[in-house]
Protein backbone atom coordinates (compact mmCIF):
# COMPACT_ATOMS: atom_id res chain seq x y z
CA UNK A 1 0.00 0.00 0.00
CA UNK A 2 1.02 3.60 -0.23
CA UNK A 3 2.43 6.06 2.28
CA UNK A 4 2.60 9.60 0.94
CA UNK A 5 2.18 8.09 -2.51
CA UNK A 6 5.15 5.70 -2.15
CA UNK A 7 4.73 1.91 -2.17
CA UNK A 8 5.52 0.17 1.13
CA UNK A 9 5.21 -3.11 2.93
CA UNK A 10 5.22 -3.18 6.75
CA UNK A 11 8.42 -5.27 6.96
CA UNK A 12 11.25 -5.65 4.47
CA UNK A 13 14.82 -6.79 4.13
CA UNK A 14 17.57 -4.20 4.39
CA UNK A 15 20.76 -5.05 2.54
CA UNK A 16 23.58 -3.93 4.76
CA UNK A 17 27.02 -2.98 3.49
CA UNK A 18 28.49 -4.96 6.37
CA UNK A 19 30.07 -8.25 5.39
CA UNK A 20 30.76 -11.14 7.77
CA UNK A 21 34.54 -11.50 8.22
CA UNK A 22 34.56 -15.27 8.12
CA UNK A 23 31.85 -16.24 5.67
CA UNK A 24 32.15 -13.19 3.40
CA UNK A 25 28.34 -13.06 3.38
CA UNK A 26 26.56 -9.73 3.53
CA UNK A 27 24.94 -9.22 6.96
CA UNK A 28 21.23 -8.72 6.62
CA UNK A 29 18.88 -6.69 8.74
CA UNK A 30 15.13 -6.08 8.69
CA UNK A 31 13.27 -2.78 8.45
CA UNK A 32 9.91 -2.20 10.11
CA UNK A 33 7.52 0.72 10.42
CA UNK A 34 7.51 1.60 14.13
CA UNK A 35 3.75 1.52 14.67
CA UNK A 36 3.96 2.93 18.19
CA UNK A 37 4.91 6.27 16.58
CA UNK A 38 1.90 6.44 14.24
CA UNK A 39 -0.13 8.47 13.41
CA UNK A 40 2.04 11.31 14.67
CA UNK A 41 5.36 10.31 13.13
CA UNK A 42 6.31 7.92 10.34
CA UNK A 43 9.45 6.19 11.62
CA UNK A 44 11.27 3.24 10.01
CA UNK A 45 13.34 1.19 12.48
CA UNK A 46 16.13 -1.20 11.58
CA UNK A 47 16.23 -4.53 13.42
CA UNK A 48 19.64 -6.27 13.46
CA UNK A 49 19.24 -8.94 16.12
CA UNK A 50 16.72 -11.40 17.53
CA UNK A 51 16.44 -9.50 20.83
CA UNK A 52 15.45 -6.33 19.03
CA UNK A 53 12.74 -8.23 17.19
CA UNK A 54 11.43 -9.72 20.44
CA UNK A 55 11.24 -6.20 21.89
CA UNK A 56 9.58 -4.90 18.70
CA UNK A 57 6.88 -7.59 19.03
CA UNK A 58 6.46 -7.13 22.80
CA UNK A 59 6.17 -3.35 22.62
CA UNK A 60 3.97 -3.59 19.54
CA UNK A 61 6.24 -1.67 17.20
CA UNK A 62 5.01 -4.47 14.97
CA UNK A 63 1.54 -5.81 15.77
CA UNK A 64 -1.36 -7.55 14.06
CA UNK A 65 -1.42 -11.33 13.90
CA UNK A 66 -0.09 -11.82 10.35
CA UNK A 67 2.65 -9.20 10.71
CA UNK A 68 3.72 -10.72 14.02
CA UNK A 69 4.10 -14.03 12.17
CA UNK A 70 6.27 -12.41 9.50
CA UNK A 71 8.28 -10.57 12.14
CA UNK A 72 8.83 -13.78 14.06
CA UNK A 73 10.05 -15.53 10.90
CA UNK A 74 12.58 -12.76 10.36
CA UNK A 75 13.42 -12.97 14.07
CA UNK A 76 14.37 -16.61 13.53
CA UNK A 77 16.48 -15.61 10.52
CA UNK A 78 18.27 -12.96 12.56
CA UNK A 79 18.97 -15.54 15.27
CA UNK A 80 20.34 -18.03 12.74
CA UNK A 81 22.51 -15.33 11.15
CA UNK A 82 24.21 -14.93 14.52
CA UNK A 83 24.25 -18.60 15.52
CA UNK A 84 22.73 -21.40 13.46
CA UNK A 85 23.06 -24.13 16.10
CA UNK A 86 20.15 -26.24 17.33
CA UNK A 87 20.41 -24.58 20.72
CA UNK A 88 20.20 -21.14 19.17
CA UNK A 89 17.15 -22.15 17.11
CA UNK A 90 15.36 -23.53 20.13
CA UNK A 91 16.18 -20.56 22.30
CA UNK A 92 15.03 -18.11 19.60
CA UNK A 93 11.78 -20.03 19.16
CA UNK A 94 11.08 -19.92 22.89
CA UNK A 95 11.81 -16.21 23.16
CA UNK A 96 9.63 -15.34 20.19
CA UNK A 97 6.68 -17.50 21.23
CA UNK A 98 6.62 -15.93 24.70
CA UNK A 99 6.68 -12.38 23.36
CA UNK A 100 2.90 -12.42 22.66
CA UNK A 101 1.09 -15.46 24.11
CA UNK A 102 -2.21 -15.04 22.18
CA UNK A 103 -0.73 -14.78 18.68
CA UNK A 104 -1.28 -18.06 16.89
CA UNK A 105 0.48 -16.83 13.72
CA UNK A 106 3.57 -16.28 15.78
CA UNK A 107 3.67 -19.91 16.93
CA UNK A 108 2.76 -21.02 13.43
CA UNK A 109 5.57 -19.01 11.77
CA UNK A 110 8.16 -20.07 14.36
CA UNK A 111 7.19 -23.72 13.96
CA UNK A 112 7.38 -23.45 10.18
CA UNK A 113 10.87 -21.95 10.43
CA UNK A 114 11.91 -24.76 12.79
CA UNK A 115 10.48 -27.39 10.44
CA UNK A 116 12.50 -25.98 7.55
CA UNK A 117 15.72 -25.27 9.44
CA UNK A 118 16.17 -28.12 11.90
CA UNK A 119 16.68 -30.86 9.24
CA UNK A 120 19.38 -28.76 7.49
CA UNK A 121 23.09 -28.77 8.28
CA UNK A 122 24.01 -25.67 10.31
CA UNK A 123 25.99 -24.16 7.42
CA UNK A 124 22.93 -24.04 5.17
CA UNK A 125 20.52 -22.66 7.74
CA UNK A 126 21.28 -18.95 7.32
CA UNK A 127 20.43 -18.75 3.63
CA UNK A 128 17.42 -21.02 4.08
CA UNK A 129 16.10 -18.93 6.98
CA UNK A 130 16.13 -15.67 5.02
CA UNK A 131 14.55 -17.41 2.06
CA UNK A 132 11.77 -18.97 4.13
CA UNK A 133 10.99 -15.71 5.96
CA UNK A 134 10.62 -13.95 2.60
CA UNK A 135 8.31 -16.74 1.40
CA UNK A 136 6.16 -16.34 4.52
CA UNK A 137 5.88 -12.60 3.81
CA UNK A 138 4.97 -13.11 0.16
CA UNK A 139 2.44 -15.78 1.06
CA UNK A 140 0.82 -13.40 3.55
CA UNK A 141 0.48 -10.76 0.84
CA UNK A 142 -1.12 -13.29 -1.47
CA UNK A 143 -3.49 -14.62 1.22
CA UNK A 144 -4.67 -11.11 1.99
CA UNK A 145 -5.18 -10.29 -1.66
CA UNK A 146 -7.44 -13.36 -1.87
CA UNK A 147 -9.31 -12.36 1.33
CA UNK A 148 -9.97 -9.03 -0.33
CA UNK A 149 -11.22 -10.69 -3.51
CA UNK A 150 -13.62 -12.98 -1.59
CA UNK A 151 -14.79 -10.21 0.74
CA UNK A 152 -15.56 -8.00 -2.22
CA UNK A 153 -18.34 -10.46 -3.08
CA UNK A 154 -20.07 -9.54 0.20
CA UNK A 155 -19.86 -5.80 -0.38
CA UNK A 156 -20.64 -5.60 -4.09
CA UNK A 157 -24.22 -7.00 -3.87
CA UNK A 158 -25.05 -4.59 -1.00
CA UNK A 159 -23.70 -1.69 -3.03
CA UNK A 160 -25.80 -2.76 -6.00
CA UNK A 161 -28.94 -2.37 -3.85
CA UNK A 162 -28.03 1.06 -2.48
CA UNK A 163 -27.42 4.49 -3.92
CA UNK A 164 -25.35 5.46 -0.88
CA UNK A 165 -21.98 4.35 0.45
CA UNK A 166 -21.86 0.98 2.22
CA UNK A 167 -21.08 1.49 5.92
CA UNK A 168 -18.66 -1.02 7.38
CA UNK A 169 -17.63 -0.98 11.03
CA UNK A 170 -14.24 -2.30 12.05
CA UNK A 171 -12.51 -2.70 15.40
CA UNK A 172 -8.81 -2.27 16.09
CA UNK A 173 -6.46 -2.40 13.13
CA UNK A 174 -6.61 -5.37 10.81
CA UNK A 175 -5.47 -3.29 7.89
CA UNK A 176 -2.31 -3.48 5.88
CA UNK A 177 -0.37 -2.26 8.92
CA UNK A 178 -1.40 -5.47 10.71
CA UNK A 179 -0.13 -7.65 7.88
CA UNK A 180 2.70 -7.52 5.39
CA UNK A 181 0.38 -5.84 2.88
CA UNK A 182 -3.36 -5.37 2.06
CA UNK A 183 -4.65 -6.26 5.53
CA UNK A 184 -7.26 -8.81 6.52
CA UNK A 185 -10.44 -7.02 7.69
CA UNK A 186 -9.62 -4.02 5.51
CA UNK A 187 -8.64 -6.07 2.44
CA UNK A 188 -12.27 -6.37 1.25
CA UNK A 189 -12.74 -2.65 1.91
CA UNK A 190 -9.67 -1.73 -0.14
CA UNK A 191 -10.81 -4.15 -2.85
CA UNK A 192 -14.24 -2.50 -2.95
CA UNK A 193 -12.83 1.02 -2.90
CA UNK A 194 -10.38 0.17 -5.67
CA UNK A 195 -13.25 -1.35 -7.68
CA UNK A 196 -15.06 1.99 -7.54
CA UNK A 197 -17.63 0.95 -4.92
CA UNK A 198 -18.49 3.72 -2.44
CA UNK A 199 -17.57 2.49 1.05
CA UNK A 200 -17.42 4.36 4.34
CA UNK A 201 -15.69 2.88 7.38
CA UNK A 202 -16.74 3.41 11.02
CA UNK A 203 -13.41 3.17 12.81
CA UNK A 204 -13.60 2.09 16.47
CA UNK A 205 -11.04 4.07 18.44
CA UNK A 206 -10.03 0.76 20.13
CA UNK A 207 -8.95 1.59 23.62
CA UNK A 208 -6.65 1.17 25.37
CA UNK A 209 -4.02 1.34 22.63
CA UNK A 210 -6.13 3.33 20.15
CA UNK A 211 -5.11 1.22 17.16
CA UNK A 212 -8.27 2.27 15.33
CA UNK A 213 -7.85 5.98 15.98
CA UNK A 214 -4.15 5.96 15.25
CA UNK A 215 -3.49 3.16 12.73
CA UNK A 216 -6.73 2.35 10.89
CA UNK A 217 -7.68 6.01 10.47
CA UNK A 218 -4.15 6.76 9.28
CA UNK A 219 -3.91 3.98 6.70
CA UNK A 220 -7.44 4.56 5.37
CA UNK A 221 -6.60 8.25 4.95
CA UNK A 222 -3.36 7.37 3.13
CA UNK A 223 -5.39 5.27 0.70
CA UNK A 224 -8.25 7.80 0.38
CA UNK A 225 -11.02 5.62 1.85
CA UNK A 226 -13.76 7.73 3.57
CA UNK A 227 -13.96 6.96 7.28
CA UNK A 228 -15.17 8.33 10.62
CA UNK A 229 -13.60 7.60 13.99
CA UNK A 230 -16.00 6.75 16.84
CA UNK A 231 -15.49 5.85 20.47
CA UNK A 232 -15.71 2.12 21.17
CA UNK A 233 -18.97 2.84 22.97
CA UNK A 234 -20.75 4.16 19.87
CA UNK A 235 -21.01 1.11 17.60
CA UNK A 236 -24.08 -0.43 19.23
CA UNK A 237 -26.02 2.81 18.92
CA UNK A 238 -25.02 3.20 15.24
CA UNK A 239 -26.20 -0.35 14.51
CA UNK A 240 -29.46 0.36 16.34
CA UNK A 241 -29.93 3.38 14.06
CA UNK A 242 -29.28 1.39 10.86
CA UNK A 243 -26.01 3.18 10.17
CA UNK A 244 -23.93 -0.01 9.86
CA UNK A 245 -24.36 -2.44 6.96
CA UNK A 246 -21.69 -4.88 8.00
CA UNK A 247 -18.99 -5.46 10.62
CA UNK A 248 -15.62 -6.85 9.53
CA UNK A 249 -12.88 -7.49 12.07
CA UNK A 250 -9.60 -9.36 11.99
CA UNK A 251 -8.66 -12.01 14.53
CA UNK A 252 -5.66 -13.16 16.47
CA UNK A 253 -7.04 -16.66 16.53
CA UNK A 254 -10.12 -18.42 15.16
CA UNK A 255 -11.00 -21.84 16.57
CA UNK A 256 -11.98 -24.95 14.68
CA UNK A 257 -15.57 -24.18 15.69
CA UNK A 258 -15.50 -20.54 14.56
CA UNK A 259 -14.99 -18.75 17.88
CA UNK A 260 -13.14 -15.51 17.16
CA UNK A 261 -10.44 -14.26 19.50
CA UNK A 262 -9.72 -10.64 18.65
CA UNK A 263 -8.94 -7.31 20.29
CA UNK A 264 -10.83 -6.65 23.52
CA UNK A 265 -14.27 -5.22 22.76
CA UNK A 266 -14.93 -7.29 19.65
CA UNK A 267 -17.37 -9.48 21.60
CA UNK A 268 -19.45 -6.39 22.50
CA UNK A 269 -19.70 -5.35 18.86
CA UNK A 270 -20.63 -8.88 17.81
CA UNK A 271 -23.43 -8.89 20.41
CA UNK A 272 -24.79 -5.61 19.01
CA UNK A 273 -24.51 -6.85 15.42
CA UNK A 274 -26.38 -10.02 16.34
CA UNK A 275 -29.03 -8.03 18.22
CA UNK A 276 -29.54 -5.70 15.25
CA UNK A 277 -29.24 -8.26 12.44
CA UNK A 278 -26.05 -6.73 11.08
CA UNK A 279 -23.76 -9.32 9.44
CA UNK A 280 -20.58 -9.87 11.46
CA UNK A 281 -17.48 -11.23 9.73
CA UNK A 282 -13.95 -12.03 10.80
CA UNK A 283 -11.38 -11.91 7.99
CA UNK A 284 -8.37 -14.14 8.54
CA UNK A 285 -5.81 -16.08 6.57
CA UNK A 286 -6.04 -19.80 7.31
CA UNK A 287 -2.85 -19.84 9.46
CA UNK A 288 -4.88 -17.86 12.00
CA UNK A 289 -7.20 -20.82 12.52
CA UNK A 290 -6.24 -23.01 15.46
CA UNK A 291 -7.52 -26.46 14.52
CA UNK A 292 -6.76 -27.76 18.01
CA UNK A 293 -9.24 -25.55 19.88
CA UNK A 294 -12.96 -26.27 20.06
CA UNK A 295 -14.18 -23.94 22.81
CA UNK A 296 -12.47 -20.57 22.45
CA UNK A 297 -14.08 -18.98 25.51
CA UNK A 298 -12.83 -21.76 27.76
CA UNK A 299 -9.49 -22.56 26.15
CA UNK A 300 -7.85 -19.40 24.83
CA UNK A 301 -5.44 -17.75 27.23
CA UNK A 302 -6.12 -14.00 27.29
CA UNK A 303 -3.05 -11.79 27.54
CA UNK A 304 -3.21 -9.30 30.42
CA UNK A 305 -1.16 -6.28 29.36
CA UNK A 306 0.47 -3.44 31.28
CA UNK A 307 -1.75 -1.03 33.25
CA UNK A 308 0.23 1.80 31.64
CA UNK A 309 -1.66 1.18 28.39
CA UNK A 310 -4.92 2.27 30.03
CA UNK A 311 -3.47 5.05 32.20
CA UNK A 312 -1.23 6.75 29.65
CA UNK A 313 -2.11 8.11 26.25
CA UNK A 314 0.09 9.55 23.51
CA UNK A 315 -0.85 12.40 21.20
CA UNK A 316 0.06 15.82 19.86
CA UNK A 317 -0.03 18.93 22.02
CA UNK A 318 -1.54 22.03 20.39
CA UNK A 319 2.08 23.00 19.67
CA UNK A 320 2.46 19.87 17.51
CA UNK A 321 4.89 18.31 19.96
CA UNK A 322 4.28 14.64 20.91
CA UNK A 323 3.42 14.12 24.57
CA UNK A 324 2.20 11.37 26.86
CA UNK A 325 -0.40 12.06 29.54
CA UNK A 326 -1.86 10.07 32.43
CA UNK A 327 -5.65 10.27 32.51
CA UNK A 328 -6.26 8.51 35.85
CA UNK A 329 -6.23 9.71 39.45
CA UNK A 330 -2.80 8.86 40.90
CA UNK A 331 -2.60 5.31 42.26
CA UNK A 332 -5.68 4.00 40.42
CA UNK A 333 -5.76 0.23 39.91
CA UNK A 334 -6.23 -0.92 36.31
CA UNK A 335 -7.10 -4.21 34.59
CA UNK A 336 -6.11 -4.60 30.95
CA UNK A 337 -7.21 -7.83 29.27
CA UNK A 338 -6.06 -7.40 25.66
CA UNK A 339 -8.41 -9.79 23.85
CA UNK A 340 -11.81 -11.35 24.13
CA UNK A 341 -13.50 -14.31 22.49
CA UNK A 342 -16.61 -13.89 20.37
CA UNK A 343 -18.58 -17.16 20.40
CA UNK A 344 -19.28 -18.63 16.95
CA UNK A 345 -23.04 -18.25 17.52
CA UNK A 346 -22.59 -14.48 16.97
CA UNK A 347 -20.43 -14.82 13.85
CA UNK A 348 -21.99 -14.67 10.38
CA UNK A 349 -18.91 -15.88 8.56
CA UNK A 350 -15.15 -16.19 8.37
CA UNK A 351 -13.60 -14.59 5.27
CA UNK A 352 -10.48 -16.54 4.32
CA UNK A 353 -8.21 -16.82 1.30
CA UNK A 354 -10.12 -19.98 0.36
CA UNK A 355 -13.54 -18.33 0.49
CA UNK A 356 -16.20 -17.37 3.02
CA UNK A 357 -17.25 -19.99 5.55
CA UNK A 358 -20.00 -20.10 8.13
CA UNK A 359 -18.40 -20.96 11.50
CA UNK A 360 -19.74 -24.53 11.44
CA UNK A 361 -18.35 -25.05 7.92
CA UNK A 362 -14.76 -24.17 8.85
CA UNK A 363 -13.98 -27.83 9.34
CA UNK A 364 -14.45 -28.34 5.59
CA UNK A 365 -11.54 -26.02 4.78
CA UNK A 366 -8.30 -27.20 3.32
CA UNK A 367 -5.72 -27.16 6.11
Q: Does 299 help bind a second copy (rule: CB under 8 A)? A: no
Question: DSSP characters for 60-90?
Answer: TSS-SHHHHHHHHHHHHHHHHHH--SHHHHH
User: What is the footprint of a second copy within residues 12-41 (CB under 8 A)?
Assistant: 39
With contacts defined by CB under 8 A, name the span among 72-80, 100-108, 202-210, 354-362 that binds a second copy. Answer: 202-210
User: What is the footprint of a second copy within residues 76-135 (CB under 8 A)?
Assistant: none
Q: Does 302 help bind a second copy (rule: CB under 8 A)? A: yes
Tell me which residue of 115, 156, 150, 151 sits closest to 136, measured CA to CA: 115
Phi, psi of 288 (to 5 degrees): -80, -10
Applying CB under 8 A, among 79, 80, 217, 350 the residue interacting with a second copy is 217
Applying CB under 8 A, among 218, 280, 281, 357 the residue interacting with a second copy is 218
Beta bridge partners of 260: 254, 342
Nearer to a second copy by Cβ, of 108 and 218: the residue is 218
| CB of 215 closer than 8 Å to CB of 38 | yes
Distance separating alpha carbons of residues 170 and 342, to the nearest angstrom: 14
Distance separating alpha carbons of residues 231 and 97, to the nearest angstrom: 32
Find the catalytic residue in 181, 232, 245, 252: 252
Q: Does 183 help bind a second copy (rule: CB under 8 A)? A: no
Residues near 296 by beta carbon (within 8 Å), at least 6 away in sequence: 253, 255, 257, 259, 260, 261, 341, 343, 344
Supply the minimum distance, in Å, between the C-beta of residue 105 and a second copy: 21
- Cα dist from 355 to 94, 111, 150, 155, 358, whole Å: 33, 25, 6, 14, 10
Applying CB under 8 A, among 80, 178, 256, 310 the residue interacting with a second copy is 310
Applying CB under 8 A, among 315, 358, 360, 364 the residue interacting with a second copy is 315
| CB of 96 closer than 8 Å to CB of 90 | no
Taken in order 280, 204, 2, 18, the sign of the CA dihedral is: negative
Q: Does 316 help bind a second copy (rule: CB under 8 A)? A: yes
Supply the minimum distance, in Å, between the C-beta of residue 122 and a second copy: 45
Supply the minimum distance, in Å, between the C-beta of residue 279 and a second copy: 17
H or E segment to which residue 149 belongs:
helix 122-161
Distance separating alpha carbons of residues 193 and 70, to the nearest angstrom: 26
Nearer to a second copy by Cβ, of 12 and 42: the residue is 42
Applying CB under 8 A, among 12, 51, 236, 257 the residue interacting with a second copy is 236
Applying CB under 8 A, among 232, 252, 259, 353 the residue interacting with a second copy is 232
CA atoms within 13 A on the CB side of 30: 31
Q: Binders of a second copy: how many residues, by CB under 8 A?
A: 62
Applying CB under 8 A, among 88, 138, 314, 354 the residue interacting with a second copy is 314
User: What is the footprint of a second copy within residues 321-350 (CB under 8 A)?
Assistant: 323-329, 331-337, 339-341
Supply the minimum distance, in Å, between the C-beta of residue 243 and a second copy: 9
Nearer to a second copy by Cβ, of 133 and 177: the residue is 177
Q: Does 205 help bind a second copy (rule: CB under 8 A)? A: yes
- 252 flagged as catalytic: yes
| CB of 178 closer than 8 Å to CB of 63 | yes
User: What is the footprint of a second copy within residues 254-273 (CB under 8 A)?
Assistant: 263-265, 267-269, 271-272
Distance separating alpha carbons of residues 112 and 106, to the nearest angstrom: 10
Q: Does 228 help bind a second copy (rule: CB under 8 A)? A: yes
Distance separating alpha carbons of residues 128 and 124, to the nearest angstrom: 6
Chain residues in the site for a second copy (CB under 8 A) = 39, 202, 205-208, 210, 213-214, 217-218, 221, 226-238, 240, 263-265, 267-269, 271-272, 275, 297, 302, 310, 312-318, 323-329, 331-337, 339-341
Active site residues: 252
Amino acid sequence: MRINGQQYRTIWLTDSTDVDDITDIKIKSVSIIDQTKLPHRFVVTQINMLDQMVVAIKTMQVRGAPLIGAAAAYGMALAVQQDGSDASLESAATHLIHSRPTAINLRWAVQRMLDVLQPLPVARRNEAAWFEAAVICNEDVELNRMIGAHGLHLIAPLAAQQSRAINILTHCNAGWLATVDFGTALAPIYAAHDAGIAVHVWVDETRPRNQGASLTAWELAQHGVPHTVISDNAGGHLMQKGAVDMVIVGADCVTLTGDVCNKIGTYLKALAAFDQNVPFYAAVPSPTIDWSIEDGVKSIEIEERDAREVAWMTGRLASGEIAEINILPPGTKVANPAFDVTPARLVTGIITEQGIYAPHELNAMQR
